[in-house]
């Protein structure tokens, strides 16, 4: 019987001489492919590492993880083994929530954490809207929700075979976000950049600027045209701003 090496969690083009790593976490149902092309678009001093969670991409056959604590326990050692240079986190939607909690988890366990956190399309942890429990919906109703979000290609939504493949992962990711319970903890000691869509569902009090309550350092908000998936519709503008945020970080490290 042949033995296969474990499928990697991190999809990256190694850049041995880079000064900074950027770990990227996708939105619900998204895979590392969301960040395809980011490496070429950003400065050569940055190495992009897209996190590939179970249940998607080459890991489609693996069961997705539905618990935030279980997910953090799996990812933290991987980050710890790749902290030979400074790094930052970028996450969109549930990916931003994962990035935030992972930054707190690393600090709690005495592991070097990110030098900057970029959270995109995600309400502040202390100001999240009440859960709509989308993960409990029947398949057809969940597909209708995805259609309203306007983040899944229509041809995918119309394919029963494709949806049967991806719905378990999407459902697991919704469960991860909807069962999330914020717990108070020490403030992060790092700058936070908040990317928000002008037409996203983030208009409640504190849902955007409330991220400032999670850090003892600066917190800046950058607005983009578009709804929840502005990360795709405004890709060039998002990448330009990511480059600005990381150039500033590189400058601080070189000073």
Q: Is residue 238 part of a domain?
A: yes
The CA-CA-CA angle for residues 175, 183, 127, to 5°, reads 70
Angle of helix 160-178 versus helix 139-149 axis, rounded to 10: 80
CA–CA separation, 60 and 42 (whole Å): 28
CA–CA separation, 121 and 115 (whole Å): 20
Q: Is residue 95 part of a domain?
A: yes
Q: What is the domain count for the chain?
A: 1
Low-confidence winner among 58-72, 147-161, 217-231, 239-253 (lowest mean pLDDT): 147-161
CA–CA separation, 50 and 171 (whole Å): 21
CA–CA separation, 140 and 52 (whole Å): 27
pLDDT at 211 over 60: yes
CA–CA separation, 124 and 69 (whole Å): 19
Q: Is residue 237 part of a domain?
A: yes
CATH number, domain containing residue 228: 3.40.50.1820
Q: Is residue 161 part of a domain?
A: no
Provide mean pLDDT across the span 152-172.
Answer: 86
pLDDT computed for residue 146 by the predictor: 85
Reply yes or no on whether 193 is catalytic.
no
Q: Tens of pLDDT along 93-102?
A: 999 999 999 9
pLDDT computed for residue 255 by the predictor: 54
pLDDT at 4 over 50: no
Provide mean pLDDT across the span 227-239.
Answer: 95
Q: Is residue 169 part of a domain?
A: no
Check 31, 93, 120, 193 and give the catalytic one: 93
Q: Is residue 141 part of a domain?
A: no
pLDDT at 2 over 60: no
pLDDT computed for residue 6 by the predictor: 45
pLDDT computed for residue 57 by the predictor: 86
Q: Tens of pLDDT along 20-79?
A: 999 999 999 899 999 999 999 999 999 999 999 999 888 988 999 988 999 999 999 999
Residue with tokens 């590492």: 49
Name the residue among 96, 93, 103 with its Cα closest to residue 119. 96
Q: Is residue 241 part of a domain?
A: yes
CA–CA separation, 84 and 5 (whole Å): 24
| CB contact set of 240 (below 8 Å; sequence gap of 6+) | none
Provide the pLDDT confidence category of residue 226 given band limits of 50, 70 and 90: very high
- The residue with greater pLDDT, 4 or 157, is 157
Instruction: Kindly report the pTM of this predicted structure.
Output: 0.92
Q: Which sign does the torsion angle of CA 129, 133, 135, 141 carry?
A: negative
> Rounded mean pLDDT of the chain?
90
- Domain range for 204: 10-128+186-254
């Amino acid at each position: 019987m042949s033995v296969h090496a474990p499928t990697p969690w991190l999809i990256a083009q190694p850049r041995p001489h880079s000064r900074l790593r950027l770990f990227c976490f996708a939105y619900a149902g998204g895979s590392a492919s969301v960040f395809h092309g980011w490496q070429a678009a950003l400065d050569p001093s940055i190495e992009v590492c897209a996190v590939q969670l179970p249940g998607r991409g080459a890991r489609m056959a693996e069961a997705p993880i539905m618990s935030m604590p279980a997910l953090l326990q799996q990812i933290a050692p991987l980050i710890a083994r790749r902290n030979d240079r400074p790094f930052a986190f970028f996450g969109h939607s549930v990916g931003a929530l994962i990035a935030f909690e992972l930054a707190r988890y690393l600090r709690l366990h005495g592991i070097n954490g990110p030098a900057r956190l970029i959270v995109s399309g995600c309400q502040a942890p202390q100001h999240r809207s009440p859960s709509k429990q989308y993960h409990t919906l029947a398949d057809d109703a969940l597909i209708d929700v995805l259609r309203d979000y306007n983040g899944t290609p229509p041809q995918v939504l119309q394919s029963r075979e494709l949806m049967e493949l991806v719905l378990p992962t999407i459902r697991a990711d919704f469960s991860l976000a909807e069962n999330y319970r914020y717990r108070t903890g020490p403030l992060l000691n790092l700058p936070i950049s908040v990317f928000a869509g002008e037409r996203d569902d983030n208009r409640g009090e504190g849902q955007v600027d409330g991220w400032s309550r999670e850090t003892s350092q600066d917190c800046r908000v950058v607005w983009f045209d578009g709804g929840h998936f502005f990360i795709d519709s405004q890709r060039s503008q998002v990448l330009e701003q990511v480059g600005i945020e990381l150039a500033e970080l590189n400058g601080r490290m070189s000073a």
